[in-house]
């Protein structure tokens, strides 16, 4: 069952898809079932990561070989953000407490430490960029034996959704 918002700030449930408070199993704002269940490798909806401010996680937006991106709410400002978690799925596992991660083998330690440092550096580099076509990075921090960075949430459809909907993109649309 869906967790309530933690950190003692609010006790209402949030819809993991639109991050609006609700007391119903069906969100009155977006119409989706709020009883979201992700995979065991993902942090659960309702989990709170801290950084400079607490962030409540919602649904997973995407997962690749080196990370998981979550929809989230920055609690103190009640604004939607995206959080990217460093999680190389072939090298780490989620611990039984469902928050911290640990290496599958100590032989990966040196390489994964280097990759995590690159992940943090990537966030710092993106944070220095200002361009309308680049999503802004607002924070980066380490917690749960991994790293996270906070990005602006941008409404819209992903590139893969555009291709599925309309087929191969023309050069004009792609550029």
11-15, 31-35, 79-83, 145-149: range with lowest mean pLDDT: 11-15
Residue 149 CA to residue 58 CA, distance in Å, equals 15
* Mean pLDDT score across all residues of the chain: 88
Residue 3 has pLDDT above 60, yes or no: no
Q: What is the pLDDT of residue 82?
A: 97
Q: Tell me the pLDDT tens digit for each residue of 63-84.
A: 998 999 999 999 989 899 999 9
**Angle subtended at Cα 149 by Cα 37 and Cα 18, rounded to the nearest 5 degrees:** 40
Q: Tell me the pLDDT tens digit for each residue of 92-132.
A: 999 877 788 999 999 999 999 999 999 999 999 999 999 98
SS (H, E, C) the chain: CCCECCCCCCCCEECCCCCCEECCCECCCCCCECCCCCCCCCCCCCCEECCCCCEEEEEEEEECCCEEEEEEEECCCCEEEEEEEECCCCCEEECCCCCCEEECCHHHHHHHHHHHHHHHHHHHHHHCCCCCCCCCEEEEEEECCEEEEEEECCCCCCHHHHHHHHCCCCHHHHC
């Amino acid at each position: 069952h869906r967790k309530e918002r933690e950190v003692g700030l609010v006790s209402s449930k949030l819809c993991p898809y639109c991050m609006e408070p609700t007391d119903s199993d069906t969100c009155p704002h977006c119409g989706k079932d709020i009883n979201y269940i992700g995979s065991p490798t993902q942090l659960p909806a309702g989990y709170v990561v801290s950084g400079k401010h607490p962030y409540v996680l919602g649904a997973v937006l995407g997962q690749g070989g080196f990370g998981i991106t979550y929809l989230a709410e920055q609690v103190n400002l009640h604004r939607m953000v995206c959080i990217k978690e460093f999680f190389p799925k072939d090298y780490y596992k989620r611990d039984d407490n469902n928050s911290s991660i640990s290496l599958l083998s100590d032989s990966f330690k040196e390489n994964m430490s280097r990759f995590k440092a690159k992940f943090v550096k990537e966030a710092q580099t993106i944070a220095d960029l200002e361009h309308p076509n680049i999503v802004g990075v607002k924070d980066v921090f380490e917690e749960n034996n991994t790293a996270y960075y906070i990005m602006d949430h941008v409404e819209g459809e992903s590139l893969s959704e555009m291709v599925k909907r309309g087929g191969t993109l023309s050069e004009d649309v792609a550029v």
